[in-house]
């Protein structure tokens, strides 16, 4: 019986039709994702391997991308809660780099993105707003057991969730910004809707969802200067375009569409995707 890694390699071309994976992650000699999955399929693989959110994100993206435009649409509904009009040649974008809106701040490496997006010229993994109108984007921050980071090199107070949200709000192509902005946090179900708060993102998500004013204050407190070419005017008005969502890996894997790899994907999730607190 074929392994999951073999199935991914066999169906690579079909998956790549709707999955943009930057930086040669499929075929590079080191840190090759299918080869990492092959090692994870070993009978006595260490449980520590299965805490790798990059692998789970890649598998989820493959599971929807192989189903084509309908798969992208289905993942969009899970992550945004909305039936959104898909751009031409809709894709799932993994590990891509929007242009940073702050001086002295490097590119944010987005775990996953969907929507009106196209490649930035002369970059490896760089993205900008696409030409479809009306436009929408969904930037995703994926976490397994890890928490959001709590600083950047030049700002000790800048948290990772705020940074991803700001990148989404400022995402542009020249003077055009996205009409609708979604930012989705994706975690194991055990961290969502629980009275036990062990992660900073639980507090910040709750805070930002309850009152966008907290988000504006965090933006205004950032010591890094905004880039003039990314100016969006009144930030308080801009955050009104934002919809925050919290999805789970559990929901994403439970709804993977039928395909040549779906059965093996779900089997791998059931066998290897266990975590403390997951209902079996």
Lowest mean per-residue pLDDT among 4-13, 17-26, 134-143, 218-227:
17-26
Q: What is the pLDDT of residue 94?
A: 95
Mean of pLDDT values over 115-132 = 90
Residue 215 to residue 165: CA distance in whole angstroms? 9
* Number of domains, the chain: 1
Q: What is the pLDDT of residue 93?
A: 97
Q: Does residue 69 fall inside a structural domain?
A: yes
C-alpha separations of 190 from 58, 200, 256, 277 in Å: 21, 15, 20, 6
Domain boundaries, position 76: 4-272
Residue 118's nearest CA partner among 129, 106, 132, 109 is 129
Q: What is the pLDDT of residue 104?
A: 83
Q: Does residue 132 fall inside a structural domain?
A: yes
165 burial type by CB count under 10 A (0-12 exposed, 13-18 middle, 19+ buried):
buried
Q: Does residue 103 fall inside a structural domain?
A: yes
Residue 27 to residue 117: CA distance in whole angstroms? 24
Q: What is the pLDDT of residue 277?
A: 78
Q: Does residue 217 fall inside a structural domain?
A: yes
Show the CA angle centred on residue 123, arms to residues 88 and 118, nearest 5°: 15
Q: Does residue 278 fall inside a structural domain?
A: no
pTM score? 0.94
Q: What is the pLDDT of residue 7?
A: 95
Q: Does residue 249 fall inside a structural domain?
A: yes
Q: Does residue 185 fall inside a structural domain?
A: yes
Q: Is 76 helix (H, G, I), strand (E, B) or coil?
A: helix
- 189 Cα distance to chain centroid: 16
Sign of the CA dihedral running 253, 205, 73, 109? negative
Lowest mean per-residue pLDDT among 8-17, 47-56, 59-68, 84-93:
47-56
E-only strand ranges, 203-261: 242-248
Q: What is the pLDDT of residue 276?
A: 82
Q: Does residue 279 fall inside a structural domain?
A: no
Mean of pLDDT values over 61-70 = 98
Contact (CB, 8 A) for 98 and 128: yes
Lowest mean per-residue pLDDT among 22-26, 108-112, 161-165:
22-26
CA atoms within 13 A on the CB side of 264: 17
């Amino acid at each position: 019986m074929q392994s999951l890694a073999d199935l991914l390699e066999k169906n690579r071309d079909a998956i790549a039709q709707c999955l943009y994976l930057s930086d040669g992650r499929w075929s590079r000699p080191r840190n090759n994702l299918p080869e990492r999955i092959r090692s994870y399929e070993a009978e006595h693989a260490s449980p520590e391997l299965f805490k790798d959110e990059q692998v789970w994100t890649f598998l989820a993206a493959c599971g929807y991308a192989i189903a084509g435009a309908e798969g992208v649409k289905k993942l969009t509904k899970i992550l945004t809660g909305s039936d959104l009009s898909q751009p031409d040649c809709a894709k799932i974008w993994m590990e891509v780099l929007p242009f940073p809106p702050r001086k002295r701040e490097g590119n944010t490496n987005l775990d996953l993105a969907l929507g009106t997006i196209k490649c930035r010229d002369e970059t490896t993994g760089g993205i900008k707003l696409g030409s479809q109108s009306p436009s929408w984007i969904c930037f995703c921050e994926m976490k397994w057991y890890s928490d959001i980071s709590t600083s950047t090199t030049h700002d000790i107070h800048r948290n990772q969730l705020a940074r991803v949200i700001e990148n989404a709000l400022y995402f542009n192509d020249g003077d055009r910004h996205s009409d609708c902005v979604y930012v989705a946090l994706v975690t194991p179900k055990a961290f969502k809707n629980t009275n036990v708060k062990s992660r900073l993102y639980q507090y910040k998500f709750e805070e930002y969802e309850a009152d966008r004013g907290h988000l504006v204050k965090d933006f205004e407190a950032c010591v890094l200067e905004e880039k003039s070419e990314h100016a969006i005017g009144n930030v308080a008005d801009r955050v009104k375009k934002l919809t925050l969502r919290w999805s789970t890996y559990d929901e994403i894997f439970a709804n993977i569409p039928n395909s040549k790899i779906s059965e093996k994907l779900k089997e791998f999730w059931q066998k290897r995707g266990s975590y403390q607190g997951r209902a079996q």
